[in-house]
Structure 1
Amino acid sequence: MKNNIFRLKPIRDLLQDNSEGKSLNKVLGAFELTMLGVGAIIGTGIFVLTGVAAANYSGPALILSFIISGLACAFTGLCYAEFAAMVPVAGSAYTYGYAALGEIWAWIIGWDLILEYAVAIAAVAIGWSGYIVNLLEAVGIHLPKALINAPGINGGVVNLPAMLIIGVITSLLIIGVRESAKVNNIMVGIKLLVVVLFIILGVSHVKPSNWTPFMPYGWKGVFQGASIIFFAYIGFDAVSTAAEEVKNPQKDLPRGIIWSLIICTVLYIIVSAILTGMVPYLQFKETSAPVAFALQQIGINWGSALVSVGAVCGITSVLLVMMFGQTRVFFAMSRDGLLPKAFGEVHPKFKTPVKSTILVGIVTALMAGFTPIGIVAELTNIGTLAAFIIVSAAVIVLRRKQPDLHRSFKCPFVPVVPSLAIIFCGYLIYSLPRITQYRFIAWLLIGLVVYFLYGIKNSALSEKKETIQEEYAS
């Protein structure tokens, strides 16, 4: 049993999965990957979470919270880049864990990512619904409360807009990744223009007095704020899930991961500084749309309206990339037999995992339509942080076990950089609410039951007669 759960999937087998008939369509370059990363990273973080973190945790020191989260992601991103270039196969952290740590760790990461993406998709769809409803009300269109809220919230029966947008994104992802990337590029372009517009409009209205006190909640608040806004950074994980669909993964994947992180971190720091300088941080308790709210407070209502439109585009692109990442992780696990193999099939015409995409669309639409997300969205953060820790550890392990493997991109200063990633991410997990940690443990325990009842018996590696573990024993 021990040998079974820790069996490794050789990198040559992972690359063989990327063969004709089983592989996805290779249509993405460095630009598309960077835009995918920016598409997922800039959205909910700027347009929603900045206000929450500033008002309740960090105050004006939100700048420091973004820097801390950005550092954690920078260290982890270098680890991801090494694996992504070496194993350009769908599955992201799940695939990397399978190659370096063994099947049980791969399962834990994959099960973790399923939760991360599913909760994120539902939460982002609900946020999208809120912005759309507000925009419609601004032009005099009022939808029935029963159709815009989950059961038990303000007379709600179903959050129909949230379900509809997931249906649209699901259809787009089924048609093909090239088409999805084109739509994403347009939406990312719009929201970047809106973010730049906010910076131009807001910088002249900054009052340094609003930055005092700078750390009203102390360093504890800064780190708690960093753990909350970490949701804003998880997009680069979705970049690595696209590995199998990249034309030149050895060069383009590291570039896409690193450039998207750099662009977004710089914009986050600038926006958070201007935002907390324009409006006293406590006022953000009153709104879930802090960027538009700040412009309203200084009388630039037309700018506020444009920001709301940009927010819709921003959140839509986040939703698109999140769903893309979820379907690719599910596809990879199914192809390995750890989940039903039917979901690991590629459509002959569209070259996309249609069954996985439909399943993810149905489940997340039901979650978004009938579940008030609330604090459960924090599960996205803890799931992401746990995956980051395992990937960083996997880099150290694989460097020791297989130092001669060809690595077209190498994470610098191993084991220092991966160790820093583990420390940063571990402390951010510690900073999350205890109830979130308990829920995460419960989810992992459920996953272990599923693995031992189904996954270990149906794993594709079980069909091999040779003991793969022996290949790594030298």
Structure 2
Amino acid sequence: MNKAVNSSGLGLFRATGIYVGAILGSGVLVLPAIAAQVAGPASILAWGLLLVFCTPVAFSFAEMSRQQPDAGGIATFVTRAFGHRASAVAGYLFYFAIPFGAPATAVIGGEYIAHAMGGGRETALIAAGLILAAGFLSNAVGIRVSSKLQLLLMALLVALLAFAVVVAGPYARVENFEPFAPHGYWAVGGAASLLFFCFAGWEAVTHLAGEFRNPERDLKRATWLTLVVVGVVYIGLVAACVAVLGPALAGSSVPVAELLAKGLGPAAAPVTAVAAAVLTFGPLNTFVAGASKLGARLASDGVLPRALARGAGPGEVPSVSLGVLGMLASISFALAATGLLSMEFQIGAASACFTAVTAFGLAAGVVLLRRGTPAWYGVIVAAVVMLVVLVFSGWALLVPAGLGVAALAAWRVRGKPATSHGSFPASPQPSRELAARNGRPS
């Protein structure tokens, strides 16, 4: 277990800013309305259930990162549990999901900004392009600088969303919670399936664990703080939307904007635009940071071309890996802007890849975590749920399947990774200490 302290690394609050930025995303701008369509006011229960569900996921990833803080993240976990070939697949799935997911995330934020400012498609694309560029440029200056920016932005975001709830408070009505479950309580499950990706992002931070000043101490603390912040923001904001907007919530395409408009009137537009920009930038910044680090680590271990390996160490900027991701994301964004690639395809492809990566990580957790503990049982349940969600990805499964084939082909061409350059363990088998903790003979 690596217990070294990185004196120049991320402290607890900057690390928490990275975590919160990975989870709080642009989905919260639209999903309260979509969930209300499915389950009515009872959709609040779906948000709460997912918060409970993601807790074992968050802590299992934090514990595995604590055991070996490394830029490989989930790929490292998978190596320790299942070997190098499986980790090559997991690494490819995360790295190459970014060119699909980053442009789609930026476009969602851009469209919300355009609506708030009264602009059209051109305004939305310009805003999306600026957000996308900001996500890559902030990482070009290094995680130390971008983490400070993200901490400030996350503090601003939480303040803005709290402000939205407060100014709309006088318009809240208890009767808007009735009937509480107009479509029955089974509909809460359907709403939860739609809301899942508002709670994804824990896998992205695993690639940044090596950047923490004291991962042994701060990984779990940052996880707790993030769960509290995310829980309060999500539940508070959704409850306010139901209480203030009532039946109109289900038909709204911009519920947060309407919530602000209740209390601020015309002044709500710029506040909404800022909130949308920050909500979009946060996860984009974190996912790009994690993926670029992962790309450099995979290259240093021979799974990607060696040219991408520059900047794999803690505190270094993975410039070549970041540049490749930026180029691929720019091409994907251009194809979407010209109508040659749909946003639905981008979202579906990225979601299927991230779901598969999360399932990989949870399966590794079943092997690596101490057997019989609540965390171990929680990971088993979460892994089963992830596999079910993955099966229902439909046509989008072709993307992770294709990337898996490409990863195995690259492995075959390049041979066994040169682990002396990287941090993946030479043996895919768990250590004697780990075997003993799990109750297995070493």
Same fold (TM over 0.5): yes
1:227 aligns with 2:208: no
Q: Mark the CA change 1:136 to 1:438 in structure 2 (over 3 Å): closer, same or farther.
A: closer
Counterpart of 1:296 (choices 261, 272, 283) is: 261
Matches of 1:374 and 1:469, distance apart in 2: 37
The equivalent residue for 1:156 is none
Counterpart check, 1:186 vs 2:186: no
2:100 to 119, 129, 143: 119
| Corresponding residue number in structure 2 for 1:443 | 399
- The one-letter amino acid of 1:329's match is L
Within the candidate set 374, 383, 398, 1:422 is matched to: 383
TM score, norm. by length of structure 2: 0.85
Aligned in 2, Cα 1:469/1:340: closer, same or farther, shift over 3 Å? Answer: same
- When residues 285 and 363 of structure 1 are mapped into structure 2, their CA distance, relative to the original with a 3 A threshold, is farther
What runs of 5+ residues in structure 1 fail to find an aligned partner? 1-10, 19-23, 150-158, 404-410
1:383 aligns with 2:353: yes
Residue 414 of structure 1 and its aligned partner are, at CA, apart by 4.7
Q: Distance in 2 between matches of 1:362 and 1:105?
A: 27
Indicate how the Cα distance of structure 1 residues 223 and 125 shifts in structure 2: closer, same or farther if over 3 A, else same. same
Pick aligned residue for 1:27 from 9, 12, 15: 9
Q: 1:245 maps to what in 2?
A: 211
The structure-2 alpha-carbon separation of the partners of 1:398 and 1:336, relative to structure 1 and needing over 3 Å to count, comes to same
Query: Residue type of the partner of 1:122?
Result: P
Equivalenced residues, count: 424
Structure-2 residue corresponding to 1:407: none
Cα distance in 1 for residues equivalent to 2:96 and 2:328: 11
Matching residue of 1:315: 280
Aligned equivalents of 2:320 and 2:426: distance in 1? 32
Q: Deviation string for 1:118-153 (max 9, x for gaps)?
A: 43312221123223434554xxxx67x5x457xxxx
Residue pair 1:128, 1:312 contacting (<8 A) in 2 also: yes
Q: Which residue matches 2:434?
A: none
Alpha-carbon distance change, 267 to 357 in structure 1, aligned in 2, over 3 angstroms: same
Change (3 A) 1:367 1:58: farther
Shift of residue 418, structure 1, vs aligned partner: 1.7
One-letter code aligned to 2:396:
R
439, 444, 452: which one pairs with 2:408? 452
- Distance between the aligned counterparts of 2:7 and 2:126, measured in 1? 33
When residues 418 and 204 of structure 1 are mapped into structure 2, their CA distance, relative to the original with a 3 A threshold, is same
Following superposition of structure 1 onto structure 2, how do residues 332-351 of structure 1 map, counting pairs within 5 Å?
332-346=297-311, 351=316
Letter in 1 for 2:288: M
Structure 2 residue identity aligned to 1:395: G
RMSD: 3.3
Match of 1:267 in 2: 233
Choose 46-55 or 64-73, whichever is displaced more: 46-55
Q: Partners of 2:334 and 2:175 in 1: how far apart?
A: 43
Q: Is the 8 A contact 2:95 2:294 kept in 1?
A: yes
Looking at structure 1, the residues matched to 110 and 302 of structure 2 have their Cα atoms a distance apart, in angstroms, of: 36
Q: Show the 5 A alignment for 1:6-25.
A: none
The letter for the 1-side match of 2:364 is A
Contact 1:33 1:239 (8 Å CA) reproduced: no
Q: Is the 8 A contact 1:227 1:429 kept in 2?
A: no
- C-alpha contact 2:41 2:181 (8 A) present in aligned 1: yes
Paired with 2:15 and 2:383, the residues of 1 have a C-alpha distance of: 25
Q: CA deviation at 1:90?
A: 0.8
Q: Any unmatched runs of 5+ in structure 2?
A: 337-341, 432-440
- Give the Å deviation of 1:424: 4.0
Q: CA deviation at 1:251?
A: 0.9
User: Which residue does 1:203 correspond to in 2?
Assistant: 169
Question: How far apart in 2 are the matches of 1:168 and 1:361?
Answer: 11
Amino acid at match of 1:170: F
* Whole-Å separation in 2 of the counterparts to 1:235 and 1:382: 14
Alpha-carbon distance in structure 1 between the residues aligned to 2:308 and 2:357? 22
Shift of 1:173: 0.8
The answer (yes or no) to whether the contact 1:72–1:424 under 8 Å persists in 2 is: no
Quick one: which amino acid aligns to residue 319 of structure 1?
A: L
3-state SS of paired residue (2:374): coil
SS of the counterpart of 1:280? Answer: helix
Q: Does the 8 Å contact 1:76/1:421 carry over to 2?
A: yes
| Cα offset, 1:346, TM superposition | 1.3
**TM-score after normalising by structure 1:** 0.79
Which of 81, 90, 101 pairs up with 1:109? 90
Contact 2:353-2:399 at 8 Å conserved across structures = no
Shift of 1:268: 0.6
Aligned residue for 2:367? 397
Cross-structure match for 2:23: 41
CA distance in 2, matches of 1:31, 1:471: 32
Distance 1:193 1:322, change over 3 A: same
Contact preservation (8 Å) 1:240, 1:253: no
Match of 1:254, SS state, is helix
Change (3 A) 1:120 1:53: farther
Partner residue of 1:361 out of 303, 310, 326: 326
The answer to whether the Cα contact below 8 Å between 1:226 and 1:428 also exists between their aligned partners in 2 is no
Matched AA of 1:48: V
1:195 deviates by 0.9
CA contact (8 A) 1:42 1:232 kept: yes
Report the alpha carbon displacement of residue 68 of structure 1 after superposing the two structures with TM: 2.1
User: In structure 1, what is the equivalent of residue 62 of structure 2?
Assistant: 81
Q: Return the alpha-carbon distance in structure 2 between the equivalents of residues 129 and 226 of structure 1.
A: 25
Q: Give the one of 407, 410, 417 matched to 1:461.
A: 417
Structure 1 residues 203-223: Cα deviation after superposition (integer angstroms, max 9, x where no partner): 332223222332334444322
Paired with 2:244 and 2:57, the residues of 1 have a C-alpha distance of: 33
- The alpha carbon displacement at 1:471 in A equals 8.2
